[in-house]
Amino acid sequence: MSIIGVGIDVAEVERFGASLARTPALAGRLFLESELLLPGGGRRGVASLAARFAAKEALAKALGAPAGLLWRDAEVYVEDNGQPRLRVTGTVAARAAELGVASWHVSLSHDAGIASAVVIAEG
């Protein structure tokens, strides 16, 4: 296996939250319902959503940032052990297949008002 691409992104939590508040439909354009909800029910907080947004940006960068990728074709989910994972479909899966991506590695963080994510595409 070899690394095909690496992406990193940061998002200012307060600014991201203001964008969601200003444009209520934005959350539905960026995230699947499963990403908006906590495993036990309830809604994810803005810091967690900002980290997921950063992961989607980092994923696009790992794929070379081609035009035409759809936000909702990438899902950030968490395994039972708490490890974040990526599930790709549609436009994102097509680009990943074109590049030979076989697996993903993702790390999310948020602290001091900044959310960050790193994505590694491996083939």
Residues across the chain: 123
Q: What is the pTM of this model?
A: 0.95
Determine whether the annotation assigns residue 80 to a binding site: no
Give residue 112's identity as a one-letter amino acid code: A
pLDDT in tens, 60-71: 999 999 999 999
Contacts (Cβ under 8 Å, ≥6 apart) of 59: 7, 74, 86, 88, 92, 104, 106, 119, 121
pLDDT in tens, 15-73: 999 999 999 999 999 999 999 998 888 999 999 999 999 999 999 999 999 999 999 99
Determine whether the annotation assigns residue 73 to a binding site: no
Main-chain phi, psi angles of 109, to 5 degrees: -155, 155
Of 37, 78, 34, 71, the C-alpha closest to 56 is 71
The Cα–Cα gap between 65 and 7 comes to 9
